[in-house]
Amino acid sequence: MNILATTNRDSHGDIISLEALQQMCDIMNGERTVRMGINHNPLLPPLGQYSKAYIVKDERGEYLLCADPILLDNYEIIDEKENLVHNFRKGLRGFNEVRFEAPDNISVDVDFFNFSNPGDADKFFQELIEEVDRDIEVFEKIRKELHPDPELIITLTKAFLGYKILKPIAEKLSEKVAEKIAEDLATNYEKIKKIIKKSLHFFDKKYKKITLIIEIPNSEIHIELATTISIENIKVFMDKLTNNEIEKVVENSLKMKHLFNGEKIQFVLSDGAEWEFTYMLTKEGGVIGKKHLFEIRNQQYKVLLDRGQIFNSFGARIS
């Protein structure tokens, strides 16, 4: 039995309702399903996905959400020069994390466990509304790990990519559209900087850096930009969110999408301050990615497997 969550108070002190468990169960059994990752690390490609979710009641009267893990167990080298590997399994569904429409308002996902106390969390949320955007949406990102490293996810609005930035690559932007995109980008830049600075200020002070993920959903391909950020390198990161840099990312994303039937693609800011492709989720529930990432993922998987910790959630207290 692979237990993913329970209605019992978990290791972080949280209680998940039966209704919430049922919603999670419905998602896993729907048209798309949930990734099976390594310690909720978004910078590593998924191991597989969950299937045949169900809820059972234990002898104490608590409800358990269980599901069958399905590993991506086939590997195919698709580009030796670029060290690209296709990790897949036939007959799978797409991943539910893929979004095809950007929100109207900027949003932030954050793990409440990353604050040293509830008061700091409340101040963080209040200042986001008062100083960043009164319409900003804040969601709890639940990651049940032994030591969850701080993670901040910022989902950008439709305006970030401009009106026609995701059009055929060969088509040039008109001067008017280019000006509008530059204006929208400038507005979003300031909001992103404020959100990052406030996160670094209000997160537990034992964390000097945070994992920052910028989500850019759209109808063509869901783009994800990731980095590890501190106060010292905010400027380096922001310099890589310029119009020219984003256009290059979009161009690479569309090429990868058409080559490999991709739906969501991730780029990580390298030490050389360049957006480097890491991996892409495909429509068929597979992953295209850099060979070394699969090697790192598989090493961590083996460690967790040896400890008996791989298919059960850390946070789901069952004893």
Position 220 in a domain: yes
Tokens 């590593």 belong to 44
Same domain for 66 and 124: no
Tens digit of each residue's pLDDT (9 = 90 or more) over 11-32: 556 678 899 999 999 999 999 9
Same domain for 230 and 111: yes
Per DSSP, 245 falls in state H
Q: Where are the alpha helices (DSSP H) in 115-269?
A: 118-127, 175-202, 234-239, 243-260
Tens digit of each residue's pLDDT (9 = 90 or more) over 121-142: 999 999 999 999 999 999 887 6
pLDDT band at 105 (very low <50, low <70, confident <90, very high): confident
* Full-model pTM: 0.88
Position 99 in a domain: no
**Domain ranges, residue 54:** 3-94+293-307
The letter for the amino acid at 67 is A
Position 100 in a domain: no
Q: What is the mean pLDDT of residues 27-45?
A: 91
Tens digit of each residue's pLDDT (9 = 90 or more) over 178-209: 565 566 667 778 899 999 999 988 987 777 78
Position 219 in a domain: yes
Structurally, the chain folds into a number of domains equal to 2
Same domain for 270 and 153: yes
Q: Is the pLDDT of residue 167 over 60?
A: no
Same domain for 37 and 73: yes
pLDDT reported for residue 163? 43
Diameter over CA atoms, the chain:
68
Residue 46 backbone dihedrals phi, psi, to 5 degrees: -65, 150
Position 316 in a domain: no
Position 314 in a domain: no
Cβ proximity of 226 and 42 under 8 Å = yes
Position 102 in a domain: no
Average pLDDT, the chain: 85
Closest CA to 45 of 79, 84, 9: 84
Q: Within a 10 A sphere around the Cβ of 196, how many other Cβ atoms?
A: 20
Q: Where are the alpha helices (DSSP H) in 58-174?
A: 118-127
Position 187 in a domain: yes
Same domain for 83 and 113: no
Integer CA distances (angstroms), 290 to 107, 239, 295, in order: 29, 25, 9
Same domain for 253 and 119: yes
Same domain for 263 and 182: yes
Tokens 């830049």 belong to 189
Same domain for 155 and 211: yes
Beta strands in the chain (DSSP E): 3-6, 35-36, 48-57, 63-71, 74-79, 84-88, 107-110, 137-140, 151-155, 210-216, 222-229, 262-269, 275-282, 287-290
Same domain for 254 and 153: yes
Same domain for 271 and 163: yes
pLDDT reported for residue 171? 47
Same domain for 213 and 123: yes
Same domain for 90 and 112: no
Q: What is the mean pLDDT of residues 81-88?
A: 96
Q: Is the pLDDT of residue 314 over 50?
A: no
